[in-house]
Amino acid sequence: MNGFLYDIKRTLTGKFTIIIVILLVLITGLTAYSVGVTSNSSTPGSVAIVMPYMNDTGHNLTISDYAINGYGAPVSGLKISSQLENFTGNGTTYVHIKGTTGSNGYFNTTVPYNSSTNYNYNIYLSYNDGSSVGLRMGVGFSNGHMSNYSECCIQQSYSISYSHSNGYSLYTANVREKGDGSAIKTMIFNRNYTSSTAPLHLYYNTSSTFNTNVYPNSNLNTKNVTGYGTMKSAEYTVILPLSIRNNGEYVNLYLANGTSGSTNVAPVAFTSFLYVDNNPGIALQGALVTFFGVLFVPILGIFSAYFYYSKDRASGIIESVIVRPITKGKLFLSRFIGTSVSFLAGIIIALAVADIILEHYTGAFISAGFFTEMLAGYLIEAIAFAGIIYLASQFIKSQGAVLGTGIGLLFALGFMWQVISGALLFLLKIKSTTSVYSKDSLILNAFSPSYFPYILADYYKNAFGTVTAASVGINIYSVIIIGIVWLLVPAGIAFYFTRKRD
Amino acid sequence: MITISHLSKSFNKFKAVSDLNLEIKNGEIMGFAGLNGAGKSTTIRAMAGIIFPTSGTVSIDNNDIVREKVKASKHLGWVPELPNFEVNAKPIPLLKYYGGFYEYGAGELDKKIKELMEEFGIYNYRNRKLKYYSQGMKKRFSLIAAMIGDPDNYLFDETLNGLDPQGVKEVRDIIINLKKDGKSVFLSSHILSELQNVADKIAIIKNGQLIKILTREELVNLGSSGIKIHITNPDKGVIDILSSFGETSLTGDYYFIKKGGNQDPAGINKELVMKNYMVDYIGRENETLEEYFLEMVK
Ligand SMILES: Nc1ncnc2c1ncn2[C@@H]1O[C@H](COP(=O)(O)OP(=O)(O)O)[C@@H](O)[C@H]1O
Ligand SMILES: [Mg+2]
């Protein structure tokens, strides 16, 4: 085998690589566990959202309850205990209705009906196994129309709304997309859909404040919104292209009939919800960013570089390898690439384990984007620290001095960097309340690899404190440049010197 | 075949090796003698590709050690002055690592390692970590590490130094066998006489400069015997007695009579004893070689 690939293989199969992977998995796994057990969102599979529908069929009231879970799939075997309150002029009468949803998620029943009175229909739910899902909801019925759906106690990050207009009886439920924790799947159900129901066009936009001014009469200028598609059936699944960057924004959905493509349409339904990204990666990242990002990853980078390269170089042991058929440059690269690949493998495995743990507790996986963002941030950070140690080893000839330098770096660029950059800004007499301060502290953060994951996360969320990341210069270009600099510059300079110096 | 051409190596301003030219042919053992600090290890490390020459070139079977490092190193084995290996490693995995840089077929490397370890008598200690090896075992391991790629050229840096007489004999035999196999061997030492019985030629280096190359014939002449004597109660009269047997000198506590004339140690001993001198050592010695050497490199 080629000496270069051969040496990489040896690095990767070494004991130290296994230790790295185990440590990474332990720390991220434990972090994910603590994030998971403290999260208050239920597993989507055990959530039940019920959409009651009542229809006047002359002498009877047809009641049809349709239940879905947190993924939008029909829930069978859900026990529904409900009561129909009949408000008449001389008091209220009650009809108790009990039943269980069938495999298609429906529970249908019929009760005698008197059109001159108003009805309230209240529902209590529990699963067949006896566990309560804690939901209580109600719907009113008067003048032959269903109205004002009210819900109580739907678990965090699920939502449902009801609107009735122009003959449409529409539920809009926000549920989870299996396999993508950050995606919100919006499901629209038309409970009185028939084959002659006119299609509805869906438009949406986002706003930073709650939008009250559209429903249902004012015309909607379709230039201000984005068209999503057309609903031509009883059920319509919508996954809006929202990302963590929309976290905290209001999402407005407009359903309108009429010609698709016309400039002004009259919405028949409107719903607005606050977008809260329920990606468990947010909580994981928040938990990892301090200990893991500022202390553990630097230690990982520094000590790996020491064990894979500096120790052998400073002790002269590497000479017994240099005399083999391989060049100094290739030997350097093979060790460095081996180190980097072991970080890559370790972080991927660790995040994957964390992902599985989080899914177990929250029902959602870290999104692919978040996974990639965390992987890139910590990988580049670890490689940067390793690169700095590889560089230091070109000039420092004793093992003790290399280790000392590493520990110094851990202090300076790791957990003391905030103090150091704060002191620098103080010496530069920049007031901490000014916007210059936050910009300058950001610039200083770019000078420590420990803070690269922060910058990347800010970019990914497009939020830097209370302002957008873009407004302080965090954009795709600056992030890529800083990343590439940390990835290649320390190692590149070290590579140059190893080929030129003894 | 190793060719050193105009090799110089400086550390900052200090010239450790200057303009060295040497050629070691196939089947030739070249000794490399010089006092401590003369530049032997520096030369050897540059030849092995560990340090870069400041100027000049070294080629191994016509491959430049700097520009064609991979090819050159394939044909070169290096035994360091001091064994320096991963202390926590066990010999077989480490030899496998080294051997992996060469082209071995499946199973061949394992076989080679076993053969070499058996030949050098450390196979029984194969499960012991290198840090628990004795100095002699470490040295043997170094030799195996140099031979693992089965190269045609060898650099031995003071390899005979620090071995017990048995070890010296063993290593000498190994080196002579390498020569028989047509390999070129470069062997340094700070003791000229150590090289005398093994080298075909000895290059002598002083302050980084080559001062002489002694051939086999010169070695034989220089190395011819004289008589070395130690007396426990010496006085001025000793020189007079000994001078009658040949040119006599005193180095330290030892008297030395250069060769020539009637030099029967028994006769000299009898003469001294009759004059009431107490002789506790008398024998034929190759002192002149060392003397010659020290004189030259002073
Ligand atoms: N890395 C180095 N840096 C500075 N000086 C060195 C270095 N290596 C060797 N020297 C100097 O070069 C000279 C020759 O050393 P060396 O080749 O080890 O001698 P020898 O092996 O003949 O005893 C000595 O003066 C030594 O101090
Ligand atoms: Mg030396």
Domain boundary among B220, B251, B268: B220
**Residue A316 CB burial class (10 angstroms; 0-12, 13-18, ≥19):** middle
Closest CA to A151 of A166, A141, A161: A161
Within 8 A by CB and 6+ apart from B38, the residues are: B190, B205, B206, B207, B208, B297
Helices (H), chain B: 40-47, 69-74, 91-99, 108-119, 135-147, 165-180, 192-196, 216-222, 237-243, 265-274, 287-297
Q: What is this model's ipTM?
A: 0.82
Hey, what CATH class is A162-277 in?
mainly beta
CB–CB contact B70 A502 (8 Å):
no
CB–CB contact B149 A316 (8 Å):
no
The identity of residue A334, as a single letter, is: S
pLDDT of residue A486: 96
Is residue B178 located within the same domain as residue B229?
Answer: no
Domain boundary among B220, B237, B254: B220
Q: Does A480 touch chain B (CB under 8 A)?
A: no
pLDDT of residue B19: 97
Rounded to whole angstroms, the Cα distance separating A306 from A303 reads 5
Is residue B215 located within the same domain as residue B283?
Answer: no
Residue-wise pLDDT tens digits, B255-285:
888 776 567 888 888 889 999 999 998 887 7
* Banded pLDDT at A1 (limits 50, 70, 90): low
The identity of residue A482, as a single letter, is: I
Provide the greatest CA pair distance for chain A.
Answer: 104
pLDDT of residue A418: 84
Instruction: Say what percent of chain A tops pLDDT 90.
Output: 37
Residues of A in contact with B73 (CB under 8 A): 323-326
Is residue B172 located within the same domain as residue B245?
Answer: no
CA-to-CA separations, B76 to A2, A51, A365, B60, in angstroms, rounded: 18, 82, 55, 7
pLDDT, greater one: A246 or A237? A237
| Cα-trace Rg, chain A | 30
Q: Is B36 in the pocket of ligand 1 (CB under 6 A)?
A: yes
Is residue B105 located within the same domain as residue B188?
Answer: yes
Is residue B213 located within the same domain as residue B187?
Answer: yes
Instruction: Say what percent of chain B tops pLDDT 70.
Output: 95
Is residue B47 located within the same domain as residue B19?
Answer: yes
Domain boundaries, chain A: 3-40+281-500, 44-158, 162-277
pLDDT of residue B261: 55
Residue-wise pLDDT tens digits, B94-147:
999 999 999 998 899 999 999 999 999 999 999 999 999 998 899 999 999 999
Is residue B213 located within the same domain as residue B230?
Answer: no
Looking at residue A365, what DSSP letter applies? P
The identity of residue A176, as a single letter, is: R
Helices (H), A366-475: 368-393, 399-409, 417-427, 435-445, 452-461
CA atoms within 13 A on the CB side of B283: 5
Q: State the CB neighbour count (10 A cutoff) for residue B267.
A: 11
The identity of residue A94, as a single letter, is: Y
Least confident of A412-421, A458-467, B168-177, B186-195: A458-467
Is residue B233 located within the same domain as residue B293?
Answer: yes
Residues of B in contact with A312 (CB under 8 A): 86
Is residue B121 located within the same domain as residue B28?
Answer: yes
> Contact at 8 Å (CB) between A189 and A66?
yes
Residue-wise pLDDT tens digits, A374-384:
999 999 999 99
Cβ-defined contacts of B164-173 (< 8 Å, 24+): B164/B136, B167/B136, B167/B139, B168/B194, B171/B139, B171/B143, B172/B197, B172/B198
Within 8 A by CB and 6+ apart from A165, the residues are: A216, A268, A269
Q: Which two tokens stand for residue A394?
A: 């070109």
Rounded to whole angstroms, the Cα distance separating A15 from A22 reads 11
pLDDT, greater one: B226 or A350? A350
CB–CB contact B100 A1 (8 Å):
yes
Q: Give me the domain span that covers residue B248.
A: 225-297
Given a cut of 80, is residue A333 above it in pLDDT?
yes
The CATH number that domain A44-158 falls under is 2.60.40.1940
Given a cut of 70, is residue A459 above it in pLDDT?
yes
Domain boundary among B220, B248, B273: B220
CA-to-CA separations, B211 to A257, A458, B278, in angstroms, rounded: 104, 69, 41
Across chain A, mean pLDDT equals 86
pLDDT of residue A320: 95
CA-to-CA separations, A196 to A4, A63, A300, in angstroms, rounded: 71, 22, 65
Q: With b meaning 16 or more CB within 10 Å and e meaning fewer, what string describes A65-98?
A: bbbbbbbbeebeebbbebbbbbeeeeeeeebebe
Residue-wise pLDDT tens digits, B11-45:
999 999 999 999 999 999 999 999 999 999 999 99
pLDDT of residue B148: 96
Q: Whose alpha carbon is nearest atom 5 of ligand 1?
A: B11
> Contact at 8 Å (CB) between A207 and A254?
no
Is residue B154 located within the same domain as residue B280?
Answer: no
Rounded to whole angstroms, the Cα distance separating A52 from A171 reads 10
Residue-wise pLDDT tens digits, B51-61:
999 999 999 99
Residue B209 Cα to ligand 1 middle (Å): 13
Helices (H) and strands (E) in chain B, counts: 11, 14
Given a cut of 70, is residue A182 above it in pLDDT?
no
Taking the CA of residue A499 and the nearest CA in chain B, the distance in Å comes to 9
pLDDT of residue A14: 83
Residues of B in contact with A320 (CB under 8 A): 80, 84-85, 98, 145
pLDDT, greater one: B162 or A19? A19
Residue-wise pLDDT tens digits, B201-215:
999 999 999 998 988
The domain total for chain B is 2
Is residue B260 located within the same domain as residue B198?
Answer: no
Q: Does A6 touch chain B (CB under 8 A)?
A: yes
Given a cut of 90, is residue A311 above it in pLDDT?
yes
| Residue range B144-170: mean pLDDT, rounded | 92
Closest CA to A4 of A334, A471, A230: A334
Is residue B47 located within the same domain as residue B71?
Answer: yes
Q: Is B42 in the pocket of ligand 1 (CB under 6 A)?
A: yes
| A–B CB contacts, 8 A cutoff, strictly below | 62
Provide the greatest CA pair distance for chain B.
Answer: 74
Same CATH fold, A162-277 and A44-158?
Answer: yes
* Banded pLDDT at A56 (limits 50, 70, 90): confident
Name the CA dihedral angle for B188, B189, B192, B196, rounded to a multiple of 10 degrees: -60
Residues of A in contact with B88 (CB under 8 A): none
Closest CA to B295 of B25, B35, B1: B35
Q: Which two tokens stand for residue A416?
A: 């003391």
Q: Is B204 in the pocket of ligand 1 (CB under 6 A)?
A: no
* Banded pLDDT at A55 (limits 50, 70, 90): confident
Which residue of B45, B84, B101 is in closest CB contact with A324? B101
What CATH number is attached to the domain comprising B28?
Answer: 3.40.50.300
Element (H, E) at A331: helix A328-362
Q: State the CB neighbour count (10 A cutoff) for residue A406.
A: 22
Q: Which residue of A has its CA nearest to B85?
A: A317
Residue-wise pLDDT tens digits, A261-304:
667 777 788 888 888 777 788 888 888 888 898 899 999 999 99
